[in-house]
Amino acid sequence: MMLSLHLGYHFTTIEAMAADEANKNYIRLQYKDGGASLQRRVRRIRLVASLLERLGFENASQADFLDASVCYQDAREITRKLLVVGRIVLMTKQLDMALSNDRITDWYTRDFAKRLGLDTAGAS
């Protein structure tokens, strides 16, 4: 799959492969720009990166650009993670406008993690 989105003022590209052979499977997400100030866009990148890390993604972010990936997992797991990635993209659309400080960003991160079933604190 190769998906390129322009939602609001940010750009998202998602590449994914879910084949029978786990060594071929991956998801790569690139995420950049936005309509708010650089500081708010950076907060959104931090929020998205935090959620993706809980899914096992490795990420390299710089300013308002995120490049995250996960690979070498079976097709079922890649597909499950791809569905969560889609939800994250939609949930964070134009969210940079609301991220005026770190406390608010942390609240949204916790709330989204809980909604997505990624809340490790609540899982026992």
Tell me which of 26-30, 93-97, 105-109 is least confident: 93-97
Cβ–Cβ under 8 Å, residues 1 and 24: no
CATH of the domain spanning 2-115: 3.30.1360
Band (pLDDT 50/70/90 cuts) for residue 121 is: low
Band (pLDDT 50/70/90 cuts) for residue 8 is: confident
Phi, psi angle pair for 100, to nearest 5°: -80, -15
Domain range annotation of the chain: 2-115
> Each residue of 43-65: pLDDT tens digit?
999 999 999 999 999 999 899 99
SS3 assignment for 39-72: HHHHHHHHHHHHHHHHCCCEEEEECCEEEEEEEC
User: What is the side-by-side order of every strand in the sheet holding 2-7?
Assistant: 2-7, 10-17, 26-33, 65-71, 58-62
> Each residue of 102-120: pLDDT tens digit?
999 999 999 999 999 998 7
CA atoms within 13 A on the CB side of 5: 19
**In the 8-state DSSP scheme, what is residue 20?**
S
pTM of the model: 0.91
